Structure 1
Amino acid sequence: MPISACAKTVRNTLIALAAAGFAAAGVSACDAQQGLSASGADARQVTVVGAGQVQGTPDTLTVNASMEFLGPDATAAMNQTNERQQSVIDGLVDLGIDRKDIATTAADLQPQYGSDGTAISAYRATNTVNVTIRDLAKASDTIGLIVSTGGNATRINSIAYSIEDDSELVRDARARAFEDAKDRAAQYAELSGLSLGKVISISEEGGAGPPIPVQAPRAMEAAVPLEPGQQTVGFSVTVVWELT
């Protein structure tokens, strides 16, 4: 029968040290070596992905609107655009929109070329603002004011709903994702005849959903119909558990 390396070590130790009474030390050394090998083995683990989603009602509407004029020269085009946008801003403030919720995002001036593509025929000036509406009851009136004040120079680029403070929704979605992961891990542990141990690692993905876009109004013959709908906050979490 082949002799294991450990057995050979013990035998050699016994032969060399028997006279000095060190036989027990040789056996203990081999046992300790075997114990270290066993403890260094990889622990049994299960890795699962859990998902959690919650929905909330948007409480904020953001409108991105531009005033655009075409003029024979750069100064005329820019002056007309700036004057019209200033009228819009003043009207928004009078309506109750806080100035801190009105932010200029662009002021552009571009030459326009004639049919030959070489000579400048006019200049196009654009001034763009983001308007944050926190009182949704004023949303329709706010958009109506922008369009009626801006007239044909008005460009409604985008309208989007969002949730200003979604911290509670995020906490709820995160908790649901973890519980989902834990339920999955517990099932796998039961199926494998083991128990769920301590958590080894956690990583997550996700967060608030993107703002909900709304189709921009084409005309202001009547009030703009607006519905906030629901916004989803979702999380995906990957958890590694020890199996015992």
Structure 2
Amino acid sequence: MKGHIDVTGFGTASAPSDVVLLDLRVQCDAPDVSSALQDASARMAGVQEAVRTHGVAPADVRTTGSGVHQRWAEGRPDVVGYTAFQSLQVRVRDVRAVGAIVGSVASAAGNSLGIDGITLAIGDPEPVARAARDAAFADARGKAEQYAALAGRALGRVVRLSDVPVVVAGPMPRMMRAGAPAELAVEPGEQAVTAQVTVRWAWADADR
């Protein structure tokens, strides 16, 4: 007899968030391009220095964008100035330091600072992803064995396996005021990693 059974399994594993990604931006207005660029560069240099004072490694700081654009008079085709911006992503490996870093960066950049995102992550997600995949395959096998028993048959070898890339999902960081307005305490919580796999088993008697 020929035949097979296809089953989809799901698995989830979780781990504490131990990395915070800060997406920072400085934006400066000036009547000419040169002044706008110089101001933005100076303020970003202050931001980078503030980050370094908290022990963030150079490899964990990267520029993600920069540019300059014109500002137009309201309702008229007249250029009234220029806006320059620079953006930076900082990987903070000590979650407890996030509030102090944000406070220092705010002091260095002043009102030119923008925080485009504060994202929680797992520094080494692979062990958690492996655990999720293990759970997904075990879930698929358990379902297949149940169906085989209901059908009065036995599972044979695996003949096909398709994997859906793991998905990391977690709550947005909860930011709690702690003292001065610029100081934030981040509660990291846990990140969940979900895996999905579809497995095809041949019936044990398929080749008879």
| Residue of structure 1 in register with 2:37 after alignment | 78
TM-score between the two structures when normalised by the length of structure 1: 0.78
Counterpart of 2:57 (choices 98, 107, 113) is: 98
Distance in 1 (alpha carbons) for counterparts of 2:101 and 2:176: 12
Question: Which amino acid letter does the alignment assign opposite residue 175 of structure 1?
Answer: D
Counterpart of 1:162 (choices 107, 121, 124) is: 121
Decide whether the 8 Å contact of 1:109 with 1:126 is kept in 2.
yes
Counterpart of 1:229 (choices 189, 192, 207) is: 189
Distance in 2 (alpha carbons) for counterparts of 1:117 and 1:157: 30
Secondary structure of the residue aligned to 2:186 is coil
Distance in 1 (alpha carbons) for counterparts of 2:120 and 2:163: 25
The alignment covers a number of residue pairs equal to 203
Distance in 1 (alpha carbons) for counterparts of 2:23 and 2:78: 32
Distance in 1 (alpha carbons) for counterparts of 2:73 and 2:26: 23
Distance in 1 (alpha carbons) for counterparts of 2:28 and 2:175: 20
Secondary structure of the residue aligned to 1:82 is helix
Decide whether the 8 Å contact of 1:64 with 1:156 is kept in 2.
yes
Describe how 1:95-244 pairs up with structure 2 within 5 A: 95-210=54-169, 213-214=172-173, 220-221=180-181, 223-243=183-203, 244=205
The structure whose Rg is larger is 1
Kindly tell me: are residues 226 and 215 of structure 1, through their superposed partners in 2, closer, same or farther at Cα, counting changes over 3 Å? closer
Question: Which amino acid letter does the alignment assign opposite residue 95 of structure 2?
Answer: L
Decide whether the 8 Å contact of 2:99 with 2:183 is kept in 1.
yes
Higher helix share: 1
Measured on the aligned residues, the alpha-carbon RMSD in Å equals 2.0
Distance in 2 (alpha carbons) for counterparts of 1:151 and 1:217: 21
Cα offset for 1:117?
Answer: 3.4
Cα offset for 1:220?
Answer: 4.4
Kindly tell me: are residues 108 and 210 of structure 1, through their superposed partners in 2, closer, same or farther at Cα, counting changes over 3 Å? farther
Cα offset for 1:213?
Answer: 3.7
Identity fraction in percent: 27
TM-score between the two structures when normalised by the length of structure 2: 0.91
Structure 1 consecutive aligned stretches of length 4 or more whose deviation exceeds 4 Å? 215-220
Q: Which runs of 5+ in 2 are unaligned?
A: none
Question: Which amino acid letter does the alignment assign opposite residue 173 of structure 1?
Answer: A
Cα offset for 1:84?
Answer: 0.7
Distance in 1 (alpha carbons) for counterparts of 2:69 and 2:110: 21
Decide whether the 8 Å contact of 1:46 with 1:241 is kept in 2.
yes
Kindly tell me: are residues 111 and 63 of structure 1, through their superposed partners in 2, closer, same or farther at Cα, counting changes over 3 Å? same
Higher relative contact order (CA 8 A, sep 6+): 2
Higher strand share: 2
| Residue of structure 1 in register with 2:23 after alignment | 64
